[in-house]
Amino acid sequence: MAKKYYITTPIYYPSGNWHIGHCYTTVICDALARFHKMLGEEVFFMTGTDEHGQKVEKEAAKRGVTPRGFIDPLVGQLKDMWKLLDVEYDRFLRTTDEDHVRCVQNIYRKLYESGDIYKAEYSGYYCTPCEAFWTEAQLKGGKCPDCGREVTLQKEESYFFRLSKYAPRLLKLYEENPEFLQPKSRVNEMVNNFLKAGLTDLSVSRTTVKWGIPLPFDEKHTAYVWIDALSNYLSGLGYSGTDDSLYRKFWPADLHLVGKEIVRFHAIIWPAILMALGEPLPKRIYGHGWLLIGGEKLSKSKENARPELTDPYELVKRYGADAVRYYLLREIPFGSDGEYTGERFLTRINADLANDLGNLVSRTSAMIVQNFGVLPPCGEKTALDAELEEMVNGLLPKVKRAMDGLNAPEALEEIFALVARANKYIDETTPWILAKDPAKRERLGTVLYHLAEACRVCAVLLKPFLTRAPSLILQSFSCPADMGFESASFGCLQAGAKVEKLPPIFPRIDVAKELAAVEKLLKEKEPPRRESEEREEEKALPQISIEDFSKVELKIGEVVACEKVKKSEKLLHETVKVGKELRSVVSGIAKFYTPEEMVGKRVVLVTNLKPVKLCGVLSEGMILCAEDEEGNLTLLTPERAVASGAKVR
Ligand code: MSP
């Protein structure tokens, strides 16, 4: 029976802001999946989208569409991206898929019935962008320790998962099975920062988020998005469904490959859930590093992603899928972060693909066509030939060793060492000189045969990594495109086989010129300054004295109650505690915050504004917000905990 290999990527948030960093996990998984298929294993490769939660609910509401209406086009874009990059998954799971929803409900039911899920009250800090809860002690300067953004204090009835109960088993797992989580540095982080610090039970349901999977035993609650999302690894195989044959065949997963920022969920919460379900654990979790720009994680929201050189659709359009795949698989030392620049991208693909590989295959095929028309026979071998032959024969085991360690950069390094050696062999054997001497014809044939074999074996081994070039190379030597690892050894080519001259498969790029052209394009595309912006600048307010400013009384208030103002879509009515006093305040922020979110917030309040009535409701102050160019409002809140009534100066 064929060996099984189940590999997963994380399922993606339907953010739509996809950049080359996002492609990293999935392209590596695709290469691993292709590699294992070529080893003759039965592979199942899962990916998909993580569609529930507050973020989606809010974005959709902001646009006045349903969550599905908001998500569907984005899911389409993501699938297009994978298609462009030749990512061939076996299942694209959407967490809104019916079978997934049913499976998550089954998981909750099972854990509830076994007593691993219980009801209590939750109070904690929630980071909406990360969809993660934190305790006060975990916050960094009052902000989310992962992304540094604002968190909100939330209190609600919630179901809890007995995560604390599994802490000793998790510690034992890491002690006994250090291979479970890789690289090693991530194990230390998990054990020291989380497990040894002690685990608290995890809130796994929300009543305030409607866009989620309802719990089967209490429909007021929806499933916590991370439990919903992690369950995809089981639900995608039909776990607990009517047909669970894939689950029986492929579980446990051989590899969950994830970015390092989500290791915590995969390496602590997920194994604990599996332990509670009585399921075997995945064999390996690997937390890879990030593509950075200027030392920071490449991220469109941080605006460090510049479209022409970070947008995967643009990159594939300009340089081809193989170039993007090659860069991702080759450049960043596996497990570490790697700085990304357009220049590095172009330099890498130019040097390795256009110069080294492109040169080797086009020179070899051209010399064969020019001198023999067909593949010449291999005659007597010299020591130089034997050395090349040995390298050709040794390549598969080396690539295999690297890929066992998931190390695609190392595997490609091995393949390109052979490319470099073959190019050097051309310089050493000087076939263009041999071609001038009819007495050296047999020697010329032998040299070209060796080069053809080096090209062919490189092409076969490149197949998991590149999806276009290998078949072009194989075709030019009349080899079938599905040639596999069984022929990754010297001597498979038959003399007399038809050879076609390969045109350059990767265009050579003048990196400096290309960068200048891209820069020009970006400038042309910069949005023209809006008239209103110019007017705003012109209308900059006149300077005021400190006395003028001190006429405004600003204080910290705590929102203790909040409701929508009837008949208004924009207004919320808050009761704000300022010191010992309670104030009634009306503010136009209903589009950006729900009443539930407002409760517990500390805000900056103008306390000496003349009271007015808005839509019939008394307003005794104004809550301060920041407004971006599109008119989106964000509350101003104190950076550290401070008592209500504190003066703002
Ligand atoms: N939805 C969660 C995963 C749930 S899995 C049960 C999520 N989604 S994501 O869309 O934010 O990220 C998807 C993958 O892209 C992650 O592996 C993440 O690490 C990866 N990357 C996003 N930006 C990246 C870089 N700049 N560099 C490398 N990979 C990064 O997390």
pLDDT digits (tens, 9 = 90+) for 190-222: 998 889 888 999 999 999 899 999 999 999 999
The CATH label, of 2.60.40.2700, 2.40.50.100, 3.90.1150.10, 1.10.730.10, for the domain at 349-487 is 1.10.730.10
pLDDT digits (tens, 9 = 90+) for 379-423: 999 999 999 999 999 999 999 999 999 999 999 999 999 999 999
Q: Output the CA torsion sign for 376, 381, 384, 385.
A: positive
How close are the terminal C-alpha atoms of the chain, in Å?
74
Q: Output the CA torsion sign for 228, 231, 232, 237.
A: negative
Does the pLDDT value for residue 302 go beyond 60? no
Q: State which ligand 1 atom lies nearest to the alpha carbon of 15.
A: 10
pLDDT digits (tens, 9 = 90+) for 415-450: 999 999 999 999 999 999 999 999 999 999 999 999
Q: State which ligand 1 atom lies nearest to the alpha carbon of 261.
A: 19
| Number of residues that this document lists for the chain | 649
The H or E element containing residue 126 is: strand 117-127
> Which ranges in 114-218 belong to alpha helices (H)?
167-176, 184-189
Can you name the residues that pair with 94 across neighbouring β-strands?
49
Domain boundaries, given as residue ranges, for the chain:
4-288, 349-487, 531-635
The CATH architecture that domain 4-288 belongs to is 3-Layer(aba) Sandwich (3.40)
Q: Is 65 exposed, middle or buried (0-12, 13-18, 19+ CB in 10 A)?
A: middle
Rounded to whole angstroms, the Cα distance separating 404 from 334 reads: 13
Under 8 Å between Cβ of 18 and 27 = no
> Which ranges in 194-340 belong to alpha helices (H)?
225-230, 232-235, 245-250, 263-264, 270-277, 307-310, 312-319, 321-330
Q: How far does the centroid of ligand 1 lie from the alpha carbon of residue 266, in Å?
A: 12
Q: How far does the centroid of ligand 1 lie from the alpha carbon of residue 647, in Å?
A: 41
The H or E element containing residue 81 is: helix 67-84
Rounded to whole angstroms, the Cα distance separating 152 from 369 reads: 70
What are residue 295's phi and psi, to 5 degrees?
80, -5
pLDDT band at 548 (very low <50, low <70, confident <90, very high): confident
> Which ranges in 117-239 belong to alpha helices (H)?
167-176, 184-189, 225-230, 232-235
Share of the chain above pLDDT 90, in %: 73
Q: State which ligand 1 atom lies nearest to the alpha carbon of 9.
A: 17
Rounded to whole angstroms, the Cα distance separating 437 from 455 reads: 25
Q: Hey, what are 35's tokens?
A: 């590699």
Rounded to whole angstroms, the Cα distance separating 528 from 626 reads: 24
Comparing CA positions, the residue from 645, 622, 639 lying closest to residue 574 is 622
SS3 321: helix
The Cβ-side half-sphere exposure at 218, using a 13 Å CA radius, reads 17
Mean pLDDT to the nearest integer, 281-308? 81
Does the pLDDT value for residue 532 go beyond 50? no
Does the pLDDT value for residue 599 go beyond 90? no
CATH number of 531-635: 2.40.50.140
Looking at every residue in the chain, the average pLDDT score rounds to 92
Does the pLDDT value for residue 8 go beyond 90? yes
Residue 544: how many CB atoms within 10 A of its CB? 9
- Name the residue at shortest CA distance from atom 7 of ligand 1: 12
Q: Hey, what are 20's tokens?
A: 């080359």
The pLDDT of residue 530 is 47
Any atom of ligand 1 within 6 Å of the Cβ of 224: no
Under 8 Å between Cβ of 254 and 7 = yes
The H or E element containing residue 464 is: none
Angle at 480 between CA 451 and CA 400, to 5 degrees: 65
Q: How far does the centroid of ligand 1 lie from the alpha carbon of residue 12, in Å?
A: 7
pLDDT band at 535 (very low <50, low <70, confident <90, very high): very low
Return the residue matching tokens 């796994």.
204
Q: State which ligand 1 atom lies nearest to the alpha carbon of 291.
A: 27
pLDDT digits (tens, 9 = 90+) for 130-172: 878 788 888 989 999 888 889 999 888 999 999 999 999 999 9
Q: Hey, what are 66's tokens?
A: 């349903």
Does the pLDDT value for residue 306 go beyond 70? no
The pLDDT of residue 230 is 98
Return the residue matching tokens 């054990």.
191
pLDDT band at 531 (very low <50, low <70, confident <90, very high): very low
Rounded to whole angstroms, the Cα distance separating 104 from 235 reads: 7
- Name the residue at shortest CA distance from atom 18 of ligand 1: 259
- SS3 letters for 278-300? CCCCCCCEEEECCEEECCEECCH
